Structure formats: C-alpha cells, structure tokens
Amino acid sequence: MSRLNESRSTTLQRFRKLGLRCALAPFAFVVVLFAQSGEENFRKLREEMVRTQLGGSRWGAQAVREPRVLEAFRQVPRHRFVSEALVPYAYEDRPLPIGYGQTISQPYIVAKMTELLEPGKSHRALEIGTGSGYQAAILSQLVSDVYTIDIIEPLGVTARERLATLGHKNVEVRIGDGYYGWSEKAPFDCIVVTAAANHIPPPLIEQLKPGGRLVVAIGNPFQTQRLLLVTKGSKGPRDIRVQDIMPVSFVPLLSGSSGQ
Amino acid sequence: MRRREAVLLLISAAVLADEVVLVRAFSIGLWHHFAYMAISIALLGFGASGTLLAVLGRRKALLSAQVGAAGWLAASAVLFALTFPLAFALVQKIPFDPFLIVWDRRQLLYLGCYYLVMFVPFFAAATVIGLALITKSEESPRLYFYNLVGSAAGAALAVSLLEIAPVEQTLLAVAGLAQGAALFALLDVVTLPTSPRVRQLAAGGVLAMLVMTLYFSARPPVVRLSQYKGLSYALNLPGARLLATRSSAIGRIDVVESPAIRQAPGLSLVAPQDATIPSQLGLFVDAETAGAITAFDGNTSALGYLDWMSTTAPYLARPDSPRVCVLGAGGGANVLLALRHGARHVDAVELDANVIRVVRETHHNFSGSLYDRADVHVRVAEGRAFLESADEQWDVIDISLVDSFAAAAVGLGAVNESYLYTQEALATYLHHLRPEGVLAVTRWIRTPPRDEIKLFATAIAALEGMGVRPADRLVLVRSWGTATLLLKREPFSAEELNRLRRWAEERLFDISYFPNMGAGQGNRFNLLAHDSYAEAVDALLAGGARRGEFLREYPFFVTPATDDRPYFFHFFRWRSLPLMLSTAGFAWVPFIEWGYLILVGTLIQSAVLGGLLIMLPLAVLRSKAPGNPRYGRGPRLSVLAYFLALGIGFMFVEMALIQRLVFFLANPVYAVAVVLAGLLLVSGLGSGWAARLVAQGY
C-alpha cells in the first residue's frame, strides 16, 4: 500500500513538474527570445562601434585598419566587462569607470594599442593592468597566450572570473605588482601597459623579445594624450626605439604651423 | 556696537571665511579650478537673495513691523548657521567627479546639485545682510562699515585658521561664527515684545544648532577625494598606509607608504639592473602626486637610478658643481642628485614649509636626515622670490618638474599666474649663475609639444635680453617622458657638448637642440612622426619674421611669458578649436587645457542658474506690476548700470592687485588673503567715514 502511495506520489510529482515546465515554457521562450534579441542588439552595437569609432573616417590616418583586430572587437562583448549600470554606455566612444580609480579605456584607444602591438597567432602577450579584463579578452582572440597582471586584488579577481566565464581559456591572470613583469613566462612578443605615468619599468623592456613591441598609454585613461610604441630590434639590448603615437590626428594643425 | 551690528559683523566674517574654506576643500577633493566655483556660488546666493528681498519689499508690512524684519533676519541667520556645515557635508556625498565631466552627462547634473546645495547657505547669509541694510537704510554707511570690516576679518581669519588646522576643522570653527551671529539675531527677536510662538521658534533654532554642533563635533564632515586623484590611487595599492597628513593654507600634504610606489620621471628604458629605485614614500599635495621621499643612508652610490633621467643633464655640462640651488626641492630627489654629483653646498628652496617638515621631522631617519645635513640649506620660500633677494651665485640652478604630472597633463595651470618661467625670471636665474654655471629646467613632455617649446622661446628672449647669442648657450635634452632645457651665460664648450651627447646616447635620450647640430640628429631614439622640436628651434633661433610667423601659427600659444603677462601655462588657442573639433570631435578634449574648459563650464552653469534664480523672478515680478513705478525701466537701468560698473571696477582692481601681489608676496594664498582683507577693510573704513560725514550733515 505504502509502495502504491509512493508510486502515486512520484507520478503526481512528475506530472506537477511537467505541468510546471509546460506552464513556464512560454515564459522561458520569451526570456530566451529577449536575451537573443538583446545579444543581437549588442552585436549590432559592436558592429556600429567598429564601423564608426575604430575604422571610421573621422579618425583620418589614425583609423584602426587591421582586419583581425577589428574582428576581435566584433567578437568580444564589451558590455560584459562593465557594471550593469554602465551597460547602456558600453559601446559609446568613451572610457568607463570600473572602480578603484581605474577605467575601461575608450574602444578606440584599446583598438589602437592592440593594432600597434601587431599581435600574431603564435604570439605570447603580457598585459600590465588587467582592469576589467577587456584588453586581455581582445588579445586572447589574436594571440596564443595572454598573461595579465593587476595590482588591485578585487579587480584582478573579478577579471579572472569574468574571463573564465566568457571562455577565454588562453588568458592567465595574476594579482601582483606588474613592475617586474612575469619572468617565468618571458620573453613576450608584445607587452601592453595601461596608464603609466612617470616611468616605464625597465624589467618589461628586458622581457620583450627581440623584434617585440611594447605599447604604453601615458596618463589618466580619461585623458589619454600619448601612446608610446617601444620596439626592440635584433641588434642587441640597446636596439630600442620609442615612437610617440598621437591617438588623434594633429597633422592638419602642425602642418599649418610649419607652413606645409 | 548693537546686536544688529554684531550679527552683521559675524555673518560677513563667516561668509568670507566660508568661501576661503570652500576654495581649499574643492582644491583638495576636486581640482583647484573648481575653487572658482565657490566664488560664483556665493555671488549667485547674493543675487538670488536680492531678488527675494525685492519680492518682500513689495509686501511692506512684512518688513516694516519691527518683529517682522527682526524675525526674518533671525530666521535667515539660523538658516545660514545650520545649512553652512550641512551643505558642506552633503556635497561630499554628491558623486561629482571632474575627470568624468566630458564623458558623462550626469556629471553636469551633479555639478548643478553642488551649486544648488552650496547655494542655500550663501543665500541665507546674503538675506541677513540685505535685510540689515534695507530695514535701516538710513544707517547704510555705518552698516556697510560692519559688513566690510567683518568680511575683511573673515578672510584673514580663515587663512590664519587654515595655517593651523585642516580644512574640515576650520569649517567647524567658521560655523561657530555663524552660530554666534544667529544667537545675537535670536536675542534681538526675543527681547522685543513678541508672541510665545516666536519665542518657541527661537528656542527651536537654538536647539537645532546645538544638536548640529554636537553631531559634527562627533562626526566632522570629511572632504571626499575623487577616486582618480593620485592619493586615492596610491591608497588602493597593496600594503598602502597613510603615514602623515599636514595642512596649511597653501595645501594639504599626505605621505603614503607602499612597496609599489616608485618615482623616476622619464627613466631611461635601458637603465641597468643595478640602477634600481630605492624604497620611496609617495608625497601628495592636495591629493595629487608631488614626487617622493627617497630612502637614503648617506651613501650616494646607491642612487644610481638618478643618473638615468634627463634631470642629470646639467651635471654632465658642469661636472664640478660645488654650489647647487634646487628650486621646488619637495621630497628631495634633486637634492640627492646634486649630492651624488659632488655638490658641497645645496640650497633646497621649497614653498611649503609642511613639505620640509614631513621630510625633516616625520621621516627623518628614512630620508637620511637629508634636510638637516650640513651641506644642505633649506630655504622656505618661493623659488623666484628667493633668487631675487639672493646675493649669491651657483654652479647649477635646477628647476625640475615643479608641477605634478597630472596637473601638467590636463593643463590645470592654464589660467594661473606663474612668475617662475617668465622671461625676466630666466634672466634672474642666469644672473645668479657663476660664469660657467648651468640653469636646468625640466618639464613633462606633452603631445603635441608645448611646454618645452614655450620654454625654449622664453630662454631665447632672456638670453637676447642679456645681449648674448642664444644659439651657443642652449641645449634641449629629451627622454620619452621628460625634457630638460639647459641654459648657460657662456657658450657651451665642445668638450661639454661631447660629454652630453655621449651621455644622452647611452641612455637613448635625444638632444633636440645643441649648438651647430645637423639636420635629423634630434629625432633618433624617441621618434616623432612630425619633429615639431626641430621646426620650433629653427624658427625661434632664426628670429625676425620667421620667429614671428611660427609664434603666430603654432597651434598652441608658445609666445614667451613675461612678468606683465605671467601665464606660462596658457597654451590653448580658441582659434584652434574649430579645426580640432572638425578633425576628431571630442577626441580633442584631452588636449585642451582643462583650466579653460572648467571655467567656461562654470560660467555657463552659473549664468543659467543666475538667470533662473535672479533674472527670471525679477522679470515675473515686473510683469505682475506693470504700473508700479518701483519696477519702471528708467530708474532700474541706471541703478543696474551704476552697480554693474561699481562691481566690475572693484573686481578688476582686485584681480590686478592679486596678480601683482602674487609676485611680491611670492605666495598666491597670502596674496589673495591680503588683497581681499585689505580691500574690504579699507572699503569698510571708507563706509565708516561716510557715516560720520552723513551724521555731520554733509
């Protein structure tokens, strides 16, 4: 008898579950539909961002042109790297705060820095200043391995979880002082340093491969005024050149001043 | 002195002191450009209060009854006493951040909230002053005397208090003045034959002030720092510890310890491993990075990293430099550099005594008693003023990175006077050099170049003023991050130039200019797609029409600053703006001197709020009383013109005096205090004298 009751109760539970599922199915369908249309919207926003902010003519000679870099920006969901309150602004042409006095740089600056690195599929990249993890995610689409270091623990932990959730398996996050680079994983083909102010750590230059490229943004992310590209030649440790890359085109103004 | 006059005196003192306190608080928490906002908020409050009094004036009964006028006055005084510290505490909760202002439209809303919250106490105080003057208009000269003398005392008192207490405590002390005024005003009411309800209200006011005083005594309001200021960032670093904080009217000094703090501006990319940076403590002025205090045990051989920065250049030109003068000594990095290069007498000149104190007292052992050494002579003075009054000569005069990277990067000094980098200043420095001595000025590099080019132009003007050929006496060394300009009274010798070139090449520094240099030699390691330095030095040294054309056409204002126009940091040209915007829209914003941007933003905001709170109510008032001669066009226009002219004239005299006194007093804070207090005091004395004349029937 008790077995019969048990069986009845199990059957009842199954029916209930089935009923619940049937009842919830339309809602779930709507949610998925919304999510899909939301993702579709974000995909359109990314496409628009790539078209107008990165590759648009407004940047003149400074436009980002490397197709692989542009494709990476189409793939990585920038809105997943900001807080919920800032999602509506994720694809705007502006830096966004991520807490602890740090920011996710404006898309153009991230793209320009990435392009300057000339990342290759077999390259190994080091990033100093993980922040939200967005730059690391972009690099992970372009190189073989990404090593990223952030000195602020809560940022590093969040970025690590976020990158894992989004499936960026070739990114390793370390929490610590990026000044000394990551000697165990050195040398690197490309190194990116976000928001340096008073000096570029010499250990990073040492960990750069001959032929490697290091890009550093100088100043506060809200006022990125200079991008420096450091290239290391193959003629020895002193074969180093620094190029001052202006994130916006000054050519019309400066040409005017020199009478060209 | 009657109670009413005491109220006027205390309220006026508190209002002026409040403005000074806000200027300091905004400088610490935000940027010092928002300090101007304090003045515009105060004036907005005064304007809106004038409108209110115009409305009240229509209802004569409200003001004519003795208790009515005294009641309004007391209510306004209590409102001021209560809202003054409350508004200060409240604005610290508003998430306004100047760094976000061009990116986030909500920031304008937050800025508007700042205005509205801070507006209330000034509005209340202005109402007290206005009521006192309206209700006894026949005694206005005498009342103006108390108003102006009180204001003068307030300015002097605030600066004095800020010398000895942090801004938060100064605020509470000034709030005490406001409460004193409110108590006198309440006493004035309750001594009149009034209803019990009025007395109850008065008692309520006293109780509210008491509660507020107790609350803020236990939990004083704290200035909220922008999370993007250097100090906030440093405190987020692992193991960060705030070791010391000192305040004065000049600024707040903070010292932070963290193993991740390292200051080596423009360090060569090929600095060897043995040139490691010793332990350092971060030094912050008004929460902005201002160098570091470096661990020093008396052994200068451990300071090898210093030789890998462009600031070392003068010691290559002048290896035997027994006498060195460091202007803007700060935490002592360049004093250490001088000692490392064999200086036997270093004059360390620093404007802020608190900087010296934290090195000398709080971090005595850490800094190796740097400022107590027999060969280091500390001079608490402004750099230019010190040299103007000195009779000595030096082998090296070093002015390195006096302003912080953050302040320089965003062009915060754009509208500030600076007598440190004028043509006359450089001439003064050159006169204080020994015949073979070197003057070195180091600045942060910005893109496109401006500071170094303006400095180069100023140096040429100074050397030409001395009747010597500039082309032989200048060298410009450029690392990736800093540029050092060297000037000599005598031409550089071939040996000095060879030494400098070898040294620079070893460090991958470019020499953008040296005498008789060939084309393309200044752009070898730190490559510019467009070598503006080469073009600039060519045009500037060519002189004549070519120099004039360059100075006119360069996108930034690089004409030399002079003592008459001491705006070295003024680089922005409005006429470049259309081209900037058409080239890259808002991407240009970071390149604009933010000083201007903030001032224009503040002007727009205060004009809008002024229109809403002052002009609009007056317009409505006039439209409702078209037949009232009191609001007729004729008399009002003449009154407007009179007071407009008076106000503008007063402000012009005040600004001109401040600008000149900054030079003579060698300190902007003291200059403002002296001018404000002095002008208001003599204006008050003038009113007092006028009152006597009126009494005598003149």
Is B364 within a domain?
no
Do B658 and B672 form a contact (C-beta atoms < 8 A)?
yes
Residue A124 maps to a domain: yes
Hey, which bits of B193-285 come out as E strands?
A: 241-247, 252-257, 280-285
Selected for mutation to probe chain A from B447, B478, B482, B581 (highest A CB count within 10 Å) is B447
Output the six-digit token pair for B99: 């760094």
- Give the integer Cα–Cα distance in Å for B173 and B513: 55
CA B164 to chain A, closest CA, distance in angstroms equals 31
Positive or negative, the Cα torsion across B228, B230, B235, B240?
positive
Q: Which amino acid is at B563?
A: D
Q: Which of residues 104-123 of B touch A (CB under 8 A)?
A: 104
Contact yes or no for A249 and B289 at CB 8 A: no
Residue at which a domain ends, from B569, B588, B607: B588
Angle value at C-alpha A223, between A232 and A191, nearest 5 degrees = 25
The pLDDT confidence band at residue B56, using thresholds 50, 70 and 90, is confident
Q: For residue A21, give how far its alpha carbon lies from the nearest alpha carbon of chain B (Å).
A: 44
By C-alpha distance, which of B444, B440, B383 is closest to B408? B444
Whether residues B191 and B53 fall in one domain: yes
Contact list in A for residue B267 (CB cut-off 8 A) is 198-200, 202
Q: Is residue A10 part of a domain?
A: no
- A254:B530 CB<8 A: yes
CATH code of residue B446: 3.40.50.150
Give me the pLDDT at residue B456, please: 96
Of B685, B675, B669, residue with least CA distance to B654: B675
Choose the closest CB to B236 out of A93, A95, A101. Answer: A101
Amino acid making up residue A225: Q
Model confidence over B142-186: pLDDT tens digits? 888 898 899 899 988 998 999 899 999 999 999 999 999 999 999
What is the mean pLDDT of the segment spanning B110-120?
A: 87
Query: B530 to chain A: which residues are within 8 Å by CB?
Result: 250-251, 254-255
Q: What is d(CA B269, CA B640) in angstroms, rounded to the nearest whole number?
A: 63
Q: What is the pLDDT of residue A256?
A: 44
Nearest CA in chain B to A236: B270
Query: Given pLDDT bands bounded at 50, 70 and 90, which one contains residue A235?
Result: confident
Among the ranges given (A16-30, A64-78, B85-99, B565-579), the one the predictor scored with the smallest mean pLDDT: A16-30
Chain A residue with CA closest to B478: the answer is A242
Question: How far is Cα of residue B275 from the mean position of the Cα atoms in its chain?
Answer: 36
Residue A16 lies in a domain: no
Under 8 Å between Cβ of B280 and B262: yes
Q: Residue B162 in contact with residue B20, Cβ under 8 Å? A: yes
Ranges B48-62, B122-136, B567-581, most confident? B122-136
Give the number of domains in chain A.
Answer: 1
Residue B236 lies in a domain: no
Q: Among A9, A37, A105, A257, which one carries the catalytic annotation?
A: A105
Are B130 and B53 a contacting pair, CB within 8 Å? yes
C-alpha dist (Å) from residue B685 to B107, B134, B319, B652: 44, 20, 59, 20
- Predicted local distance difference test score (pLDDT) of residue A7: 59
Phi/psi for A132 (5° steps) reads -75, -25
Joined together, the tokens standing for residue B210 give: 């008491």
Cβ-contact A109, A129 below 8 angstroms? no
Tell whether A220 is covered by a domain: yes
Pick from A195-199, B114-118, B218-222, B242-246: least confident: A195-199
Confidence of residue B412 (pLDDT cuts 50, 70, 90): very low
Mean pLDDT of chain B: 85
Amino acid at B349: V
Does A253 score more than 50 pLDDT?
no
Q: Which among B262, B508, B555 has the least Cβ separation from residue A254?
A: B555
Q: Is B236 within 8 Å of A152 when comparing Cβ atoms?
A: yes
Same domain for B345 and B450, yes or no, is yes
For residue B508, which residues of chain A lie inside 8 Å, CB to CB? 238, 240, 242
- Residue B228: which of B405, B402, B98, B404 has the closest Cα? B98
Residue A28 pLDDT more than 60?
A: no
Among the candidates B560, B588, B616, a domain finishes at B588
3-state secondary structure B508-561: CCEEEECCCCCCCCCCCCEEECCCHHHHHHHHHHHCHHHHHHHHHHCCCCCCCC
pLDDT number for residue A22? 61
Question: Does B201 score more than 90 pLDDT?
Answer: no
- Flag whether A208 is in a domain: yes
CA quadruple B282, B284, B287, B289: dihedral, nearest 10: -70
- The answer to whether B227 faces chain A, any CB pair under 8 Å, is yes
Greater model confidence, B143 or B500: B500
Same domain, B606 and B558: no
Residue A214, strand partner residues:
A191, A230
Percent of chain B with pLDDT over 90: 42
Total of domains in chain B: 2
Closest by Cβ to A240, choosing from B270, B583, B587: B270
Q: How many CA atoms lie within 13 A of B484 on its CB side?
A: 27
Neighbours of B1 (CB within 10 A): 8
Strand, helix or coil at A75? helix
Nearest chain A residue (CA) to B551 = A257
Q: Does B581 touch chain A (CB under 8 A)?
A: no
Given a cut of 60, whether residue B137 has pLDDT beyond it is: yes
- In A, minimum Cα distance to B506 occurs at A238
Residue B62, pLDDT above cutoff 70: no
User: Could you tell me the CATH number of the domain that includes residue A228?
Assistant: 3.40.50.150
* Segment 582-621 of chain B within 8 Å of chain A by CB: 583-591
Do B465 and B398 lie in one domain? The reply is: yes
Q: Which of B345, B352, B353, B342 is nearest to B373 (CA)?
A: B345
Does one domain contain both B624 and B551?
A: no
Nearest CB to A101: which of B228, B264, B508? B228
Please indicate, yes or no, whether residues B443 and B547 belong to a single structural domain of this protein: yes
User: Buried (b) or exposed (e) across B235-261, using 16+ Cβ within 10 A?
Assistant: bbbeebeebbbbbbbbbbbbbbbbebb
Position B661 in a domain? yes
Classify residue A154: in a domain, yes or no: yes
Q: Where are the alpha helices (DSSP H) in B358-493?
A: 383-389, 405-409, 423-431, 451-465
B477 shares a domain with B344: yes
Q: What is chain B's length?
A: 698
Instruction: Give Cα separations from B428 to A128, B375, B385, B389, B419 (angstroms).
Output: 45, 24, 10, 10, 11
Residue A122's SS3 state is coil
Q: What is the pLDDT of residue A77?
A: 96
Question: For residue B431, what are the domain limits?
Answer: 310-349+372-588
Q: Is A105 one of the annotated active-site residues of the chain?
A: yes
Instruction: Tell whether B36 and B149 lie within a shared domain.
Output: yes
In this complex, the residue of A197, A202, A226 whose CB is nearest that of residue B269 is: A202
Q: Does residue B420 fall inside a structural domain?
A: yes
For range B678-682, the mean pLDDT: 85
Q: Is residue A181 assigned to a domain?
A: yes
* Residue range(s) defining the domain that contains residue A177: 95-245
What is the average pLDDT value for chain A, to the nearest integer?
82
B532, A205: Cβ pair inside 8 Å?
A: no
- Spatial neighbors of B29 by CB under 8 A, at least 6 apart, are B92, B223, B224, B225, B226, B287
- Contact assignment for A151 to B237 by CB distance below 8 Å: yes
Same domain, B22 and B131: yes
Residues sharing a CB contact under 8 Å with residue B457, sequence separation 6 or more, in sequence order: B536, B540, B551, B558, B559, B560
Residue of B nearest to A154 (CA): B236
Q: Which of A106, A258, A260 to mutate to test the interface with B (most CBs of B within 10 A)?
A: A258
**Cα A102–A105–A111 angle (5° rounding)?**
150
Contacts of B260 in chain A (CB under 8 A): 151, 177, 179
d(CA B440, CA B617): 58
**Is B250 among the domain residues?**
no
Q: Which of B228, B447, B508 sits opposite A226 (nearest CB)?
A: B447
User: pTM (2 decimals)?
Assistant: 0.85
Q: Which of B588, B607, B635 delimits the end of a domain?
A: B588
Interface of B with A in 498-557 (CB under 8 A): 508, 525-530, 532, 535, 549-550, 553-555
Distance in angstroms (rounded) separating the CA atoms of residues B634 and B557: 45
Same domain, B447 and B539: yes
Asked if the Cβ–Cβ distance from A198 to B526 is below 8 Å, we say no
Q: Is A252–B508 a contact, with Cβ atoms under 8 angstroms apart?
A: no
Are B593 and B569 in contact by the 8 Å Cβ rule? The answer is: yes
Same domain, B103 and B21: yes
Is A70 a member of any domain?
Answer: no
On whether both B71 and B218 belong to a single domain, the answer is: yes
Would you say B125 and B79 are in contact if contact means Cβ atoms under 8 Å apart? no
**Chain B: closest CA distance from residue A17 (Å):** 48
How confident is the model over B71-80, as a mean pLDDT?
91
